[in-house]
Every structure is written in structure tokens, then in C-alpha cells.
Structure 1
Amino acid sequence: MEPKRVTMSEVSLRDGLQIEPSFLPTDAKVALAGALADAGLSRIEVTGFVHPKVIPQFTDAEAVLAALPRRPGVRYAAFVPNARGAERAVAAGVDDLKCGIAVSDSFNSLNIRMSTEQGMRALDEIARVAAGTASRIAGVVATAFGCPYEGPVDPARVDRLFAQLLELGAPVIYLADTTGMANPAAVRRLVEHLRGRWPGARIGLHLHNTRGLGIANALAGLEVGVTDFEASVGGLGGCPFAPRAVGNVCTEDLVHMLHEMGIETGLDLDALLAAAGMAQEMVGRTLPGMVLKAGKASERHAVGTAAVKLD
């Protein structure tokens, strides 16, 4: 049975923007973060503390954090690949240190310049940096459903990463379909497997829409009780290290589905759509989100307003 309420985490400002070829102004990023908070989002991933040569979009990471409005109940996250990134993030006042280690060695070598084993050691170093500070670890198991370079992943490797993140105190661990390899059956199977081993663990889903299955995979997660989802407003995104990547699952599309199903999110869908329009204007192109184009299912139109002409 589907849950009555879910919690959304917004990743457009980090996962969404990292593939954008042109640097977007800091004030525009801050404005979008404010619009997302206005829509009711309480978890917003706003940047990444990575080397600027790897992802130039995040050269303003400290400036973004300094300019963000601090609101009660809103937690700002940033991706950190190593201890140096964690040190910068903690100093900048990041609430959640997003640690995404891939099950796939090939993907890790492209994404964070480490093997999976090296990445796991880096997780321990990040945890030591965070210890005693106001920042906490938020875990991501990347390529949890497969890798475009290596194919299917060994579930035992997923277990190892998941167990380590649990031990480090991550309050929620997202299984990431980083390159769009998942399908609904695989989502149900992996969530149920991990629940069987760690019944008390809080499992989330970070979904991409690479092959058009983002919403279907989210529904599969709902059916096995997942209550934490990550998405990107407008469907912004696409991993720069994934061949032919397209965007993340779209926040407002997923929220629209949830509301139509009677599942609460605490979010204002109209405000989300306004934020999606802002994101679309920022990047200067039409984004893949469908509700932004078609409107909400609850909207009513005058007869004769359809643009379709039948011969």
C-alpha cells in the first residue's frame, strides 16, 4: 500500500545544473533556491564542493551558500566527494553533506576520480570532518541499479555501501538510478532486499528519466513504502559522465502525480510550477517537465479551446 505522505528533496541546483554548458549567475541560483523554499521544499541541494576544473558550474559554491536565505526547517545540502570538499562545505554552513559513491568502479573513476574502495575510504574521512559540527551526512548509493560501462551491479556491493552509510549515521540513504538503468521490478526488488537486511533503515530514491521510466520507478518505490524521493524542478539535469544522459525525474510532475493519488507532500504545486518556469528561463530552453506544458489535471477548459483539428 502506498504511503499517505512523502518527503521530497530538490536537486535541480546541483544535479540539475551540473551538466549546463554555460555558467549561471550566482544571484539566479539563489533566487531559484528561494522560489523552491517558497514552494515548501525543506531539503534543497544547492551546489557541489568539487574542483572547478571538473564542474565549472560550482565555482561559486561558497558565494551561493553565503547568499542563501536561512529559513526555519529548510536544510541546504551540497555534494562533497572528499574530505577537502567536506571542509569547505562545513565552513560554508552546509546542513547536509551529500556523499554519493557509485557501486561501479568505472563510474566512480569518471565521477570522483576514485575507485569504489577509495570512495569508501573517502566517506570515512568526510564523516570525521563532519563529526562535532552542525553538518550531517546524507548518503547516496550511485549506480545502484546498473552501470552503462559495467552493466548489472553486484547486489553485495550495494549492501556494503549501504551498510557503511548506515554506520556513519546517514538518516536517509538514497538509491540512485544515476544513469537510467532501473525499471519498476528492479526498484521493488532492491528496496525489499535492503529492507529485509536492515528493517529500520530509511531508504530513499534518486531517480533519473533517462529512458522515460522515472515516474514509473517512483510509483514502484511508493508501492513498497518508500517515502523519500529526490527530483529536479523542470526535469533539469543529466549526469555529465553518463552517455546520452537526459534529465532527472521532474519534481512538479512527480508531485502532481502524488497529489492526484491523494498522497500528501506539503508542497504548493502552483509555486513549484512557477519555480520550474524560472528554471526554464534561467537556462534559456524548454525543459522536459510535462505539467509545465500541459497544466494540472484538475484544470478545466472551455469547450473548443483544444488546438487539435480532426479532418
Structure 2
Amino acid sequence: MKKWMKTAAAALTVAGVLSAGTVVMASPISPTPVKIFINGLYQDDVLNVNGRTMVQLKAFHDPAKISYSYESATKNIIIKNPVNNITVRLKDGLKTADINGKKIALDAPVTVKRGRTYVPVRFVTERLGGTVAYSNAGKQVIVRTPTGEEQFKTLMSGELDKARVAALGLPELNYGKEIQPYGEGFTTIYTFPIGEALRYIMEYRGLVTYVEVNENGIAEVKWQKDTIGKNGETGQEPKAFGESVYFMNNLMADILSYGTVDSTGKSTELAAIDRYNNPQFAYVLIMPIEGEVRTDAKLTE
């Protein structure tokens, strides 16, 4: 995997790619020179201003590290990053940003369109503490917020249960036909190969979805099948996981159960947690499995 680059060095490398001339992107499958992802989410609302790629400011969403506000008296957009002790002021049409009282030139003017504020990609990576890299595979520009970078490291090389939580939190990218569930119910089952976090199968209302997380932290849907309806199948069915672990979330009963699956497909429940009587597990989907060791960790630097 390409080494991840911080702030200015990375932004300068990618700037040449972004300034080559892109167009407004409409969908994940539209033919475009580059595809931009922020924290794993594909950006389908991108502008080109004076040969510079502009993304929505709100897409750089990091409430733990960055806050946004609007000052009506001055019509300034205020961005604060208390971790880095930075306060940024932006204004529609200006090609400068005020950063802690100092004027800094932007690649392109701040643009407000349809009530949305767009800024150069380089700005969010250089000035707001983000990271950026360019992936030749798929011509993808990968941007992450400060918290997003922390989550990426957990995803790729962190503890197994935490990495699985990070994987399930990623937005799913479907390049082909997206199949809708046909059945009914309130139970979702997540199955991971033993020791792994970067691929899983999700079962919900009769729809089976296989997801792989690539080296850039993007969750790609590789296969879907409607097992009880008439919505068909798309993609390539994966080989059987063999030994695996499952986590079953029964939303109606508010119970999380989990266990193991052997190579023959026989499942063994290890525990069931009644969230009503154990509110500390209210939002828990993944539990650590005793004795399980991660086998798919990857270096992130």
C-alpha cells in the first residue's frame, strides 16, 4: 500500500493530479479522471473551479476535532480546530482564508452554490489537519479527517474487535446493481472469517451482502443475493469463509448474541446479551472473542 502522507507534502503531490482538469462527478460509476473519497465516503458532489477540484466543506466532517459556525454579521464561515489551536475564517468569493489572523492564499475562491460551501481539496488537507493520498488503482484521491485517520489505523492494524467495529462503520460502495431486501424482520447477522476484520458477510431480511475493505479503507460491496425474493443476485459470490465468528443483532428483542462457526457450517453460541438489562451494551455490535488472534492486520505507515 502507498505510504500515507501528511499535510503539505501530500497535498502538493496530489494537487497536480487534481488540477489536471476534472468535471462535476455524478455517480460512483461515471467515467471521471479521479474519484474523491473522504473518510471512505464517495463524494458525488464535486465542483471544478479554475481547474481546481472543490469539495463540500461539510463533507470534511469531524465533530471530535473540528467545529463549523456561521457569523451572520460578517458573513464569515468560522472553522475551529482546538487541537491544533487554529481558527479559520472563510467568505464566499474570496481566494484567501484568514487563519489565526493571517491571510493565506487558496487555490480557488470559496464557492457557495445551492446553499453549499465548496473549498479546494488542498485546503482541507493542508489547513484542517487532514491526510491525503492518491491511489493509482481506480484513480482515487483518498482524504481523511484527523479522526478519520485515527479510525483508519485502527481498521488496518488495531485490535480485532475494534477493527471490526471500524469496518462496519464505513459507508458501503456499490459499483454495480444494488439489490434491496425483500423479506421482513429486525435481525442483522454479521459474519467474519476467524481472525479477520477486513471482509464480512451481512444478512438482513433475506439479503446477503459480501463486503471487502480495500487497502485505502473503502468498503466495497462485492456480492449481493436476495435469498427469499425476486430481486436476484449481483457480483461474485465469495468462497466459503470456513471457520468464522458471527454477531447477531436482534433489534426488536434488543439482544446481541455471538458465537463461532466451524468449517462444516455448524454454529455455536458463546453468549447472548440482553441490552434492556445491560444498558452499557446499548450500541454494541461486536464483542471480543476469547482466544481469537488477528491475522489480517496491515501496516499503515
Give yes or no for TM over 0.5: no
Higher strand proportion (structure 1 or 2): 2
Higher helix proportion (structure 1 or 2): 1
Higher relative contact order, chain-length normalized (CA < 8 Å, sep 6+): 1
For the pair shown, the structure with the greater C-alpha radius of gyration is: 2
Q: TM-score, normalized by length of structure 1?
A: 0.24
